[in-house]
Amino acid sequence: MTKNIQTAIVGVTGYAGAELARLLLHHPRLKNHPPVFAGRVDTKDLAHGGVPLAEIHPQLGDNAGAANLKLEPFSWELLTTRGVEVLFLATPHEQSREWVPEALKRGLRVIDLSAAWRLTEAANRAVYDFADEATELAASTQSQAVYGMPELHRKQIASAQLVANPGCYATSIILALKPLVAAGLIDLDRGIVADAKSGVSGAGKAATARTHFMYAADNLSAYSVFAHRHTGELLEQAGVSGCQIVFTPHLLPIPRGILSTIYVHFKMAQTHESVAQVYREFFRDSPMVRLYDKSLPQIQYSVRTNYADIGFQLDSSGKRAVIVSCLDNLLKGAAGQAVQNLNVMQGWPESEGLE
């Protein structure tokens, strides 16, 4: 039995932060070792030692002590005093760019839910316009980052100091495409179309005109066409070029969940069994991926779980396929995947605390 570890979450006030707190509070390996919650605390709350967690997220209150936990003012001294070993950052990209180098310097292992360190190629990072892009410190930090998708990088994650948790859209599409690209089945010259739809929580907790109820309800809209920030992840991790895939995200009038419909051409005619075997082999040791054989996934089956659901159908020629990939953007697309990465880093069963 691995010893208990002390975790900390910075950014618990957001949607993903709330899910992360819930998962860690109930993780069987972390009983009696709740996370340290740190962040910005208003002056009026300092006299009380912080903000009660149950005041921020009432759904996290219970009779086992969670109601007594507080969001405390962030400081490196707080993390040191509390013996934090693994730091989760559910913070904006710019904040993570500033704090991750310091965390690594202090010997912490970091799981960063932002996009700050996901991309290895400068051309793909350009969409974020990071202020420190040209510095040696940023380059050194980036070189230590492992893309946090266990299904692709399990061995590297196990020993990583910095895990860059993937984006939600990226996770749904990469998992569906990577096995077929790696097997050389897809005719990349014919192009791939990834038509993806996400619930409103994928845009974060801060309200915008697009996520306002009067805009999102009874509506379906495309956005960030040819310009979505997750595109770089798709290119780097799926192993395709920008001219080989078109990725278009859409906003669904539901709280959470992603459904990606992906259209591909094969180099040679395939059977349902030949394609299914590629997926089965690729995900043989991946407990958080569910393969659908006789039907297609739906959001309602994967929402509020950490599963990525993948199914497909071939046309009568066997040379075209439609792949459907579903997941919960706040779990497998964010907090759940972060806990999955923690399990891998600690040598625990990958699905522990997630099923």
- The residues carrying an active-site annotation are 168
The set of residues, in sequence order, having a beta carbon less than 8 Å from that of 344 and lying 6+ positions away, is 150, 154, 157, 158, 350
CB 72 within 8 A of CB 36: yes
CA count, 13 A, side-chain hemisphere, 132: 19
CB 73 within 8 A of CB 45: no
CA distance readout (Å), 339 to 34, 53, 164, 191: 14, 20, 12, 34
The residues with which 40 forms a beta bridge, in sequence order, are none
Give the helix/strand (H/E) hosting 39.
strand 36-39
DSSP letter assigned to residue 267: S
Q: Which residue has tokens 């891998």?
A: 344
Return phi, psi of residue 58, to 5°: -55, -30
The set of residues, in sequence order, having a beta carbon less than 8 Å from that of 286 and lying 6+ positions away, is 150, 151, 350
Q: What is the DSSP string of 212-281?
A: SHHHHTT--EE-STTT-TTHHHHHHHHT--GGGEEEEEEE-SSSS-EEEEEEEEBSS---HHHHHHHHHH
Name the pairing type of β-strands 308-314 and 86-89: unpaired
CB 272 within 8 A of CB 279: no
Q: How many residues does the chain have?
A: 355
| Whole-angstrom distance, CA of residue 14 vs CA of residue 156 | 28
| Whole-angstrom distance, CA of residue 248 vs CA of residue 191 | 14
> Angle at Cα 117 formed by Cα 306 and Cα 288, nearest 5°?
15
